């Protein structure tokens, strides 16, 4: 999912917790899946931001030459305004866009 085009809310949203456990049958398992996906999204966003900010990096050792770069500030502000990874992951999970599996369940079904 492209987090830049996501319609996820920027602010906190109240969810019905029973809706979260519909797919897995266990609220805690659903939260664990959402948390793992949020970590993946967070890493992806951080990598993208680092790549964009690396273009503006100056490798001078002098502290006197610190200056503000307007483009760098705009990029940072854009990423600050994006929805948080947990909100993006929750939206993906509710829409059924997250692939997950439980090896323990698969083993139990294979043995039965």
What is the rounded average pLDDT of the residues 2-25? Answer: 78
Residue 52 and residue 12 in contact, taking contact as beta carbons nearer than 8 Å: no
Residue listed under structure tokens 């990598």 = 47
Say whether pTM exceeds 0.85.
Answer: no
Residue 30 and residue 105 in contact, taking contact as beta carbons nearer than 8 Å: no
Residue listed under structure tokens 């439980």 = 102
How many Å apart are CA 75 and CA 45, to the nearest integer? 12
| pLDDT at site 56 | 73
Other beta carbons within 10 Å of 38: 19
| pLDDT at site 76 | 85
Q: For residue range 26-80, what is the model confidence (pLDDT) as tens digits?
A: 899 999 999 999 999 999 999 998 888 887 766 665 555 556 677 888 888 888 8
């Amino acid at each position: 999912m492209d987090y830049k085009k996501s319609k996820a809310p920027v602010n906190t949203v109240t969810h019905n917790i029973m809706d979260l456990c519909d797919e897995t049958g266990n609220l805690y398992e659903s939260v664990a899946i959402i948390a793992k996906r949020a970590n993946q999204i967070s890493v992806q966003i951080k990598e993208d931001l680092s790549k964009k900010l690396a273009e503006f990096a100056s490798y001078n050792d002098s502290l006197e030459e610190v200056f503000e770069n307007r483009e760098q500030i705009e990029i940072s502000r854009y990423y600050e305004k994006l929805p948080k990874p947990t909100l993006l992951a929750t939206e993906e999970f509710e829409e059924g866009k997250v692939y997950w599996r439980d090896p323990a369940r698969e083993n139990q079904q294979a043995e039965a």
